[in-house]
Amino acid sequence: MSPESDPDLPAGVERRRLDGRDRLATRGEPVYGEPTDGEWRVWDAGRSKLGAMLQSGMDTGLGGGETVLYLGAASGTTVSHVADFAGPTYAVEFAPRPTRDLLPVAEARDNLFPLLKDARKPETYAHVVEPVDALVQDVATRGQAEVANRNRRFLREDGRLLAVVKARSEDVTADPEDVFEAFLDALSGYEVLETTSLDPYHEDHLAVVARPE
């Protein structure tokens, strides 16, 4: 793979050629069987909502080196890439099994801190998490707007909320467009800067970039 410069990507993230395609890549230990080239590993947008946001050209405000709070870390597919280019990265995951899988990912990254916590209860980790530059939200639960509202407390004044709204997690019977509209209506204390569908990478998902008001 050979790198291609892209000023819209955070420092530490590059576009590289693999199998005739431009692929996002970060420098770090492989996590989920992703293709690698030396110390670089492909950031698969089909398996990462934040990767899909960057691949789609959204202005996430990420420049590299930020302090990040990641909600819904699961076993580390996306948060591992974030830790590859960011500063201190707090990874909140509710389920014990994926948190166990996240531990070896963190062992290879000194700046990645797994937290077995419920993102709906930020008071349970408020004593650990410092003010952050980016709040990345990728939770599969009802009340996704309320999760963003409750965790706003950690965002710096010039920080960014990077949220992914999962329509089927909110209401499997509702029209996704109605779910997205309800999320934006319920978002409190934020100014929405940009929204975009994550199709074709992730069906019925809306990506939202916002900042604190």
Secondary structure element (H or E) that encloses residue 148, with its range: helix 144-151
Q: How many CA atoms lie within 13 A of 81 on its CB side?
A: 27
Q: Is the pLDDT of residue 4 over 90?
A: no
Residue range 27-67, pLDDT digits in tens: 999 999 999 989 999 999 999 999 999 999 999 999 999 99
Q: Is the pLDDT of residue 97 over 90?
A: yes
At residue 24, the 3 state secondary structure works out as strand
Task: Let me know the angle formed at the C-alpha of 68 by 144 and 5, rounded to the nearest 5 degrees.
Answer: 110
**Token pair of 213, please?**
């008001």
Q: For helices 176-186 and 144-151, what crossing angle results, to 10°?
A: 30
Cβ-in-10-Å burial (0-12, 13-18, 19+) of 110 comes to exposed
pLDDT value for 208: 98
Q: How many CA atoms lie within 13 A of 204 on its CB side?
A: 14
Q: Is the pLDDT of residue 116 over 60?
A: yes
The distance from CA 113 to its chain's CA centroid, rounded to whole angstroms, is 15
d(CA 129, CA 114): 11
d(CA 112, CA 85): 11
pLDDT value for 2: 47
- Amino acid sitting at position 200: P
pLDDT value for 154: 98
Known binding-site positions for S-adenosyl-L-methionine: 77-78, 93-94, 118-119, 138-141
Q: Is the pLDDT of residue 163 over 60?
A: yes
Q: Is the pLDDT of residue 1 over 50?
A: no
Known binding-site positions: 77-78, 93-94, 118-119, 138-141
* Average pLDDT value for the chain: 95
Predicted confidence band at 119 (pLDDT cuts at 50, 70, 90)? Answer: very high
The closest alpha carbon to 48, from 76, 12, 26, 20, belongs to 76
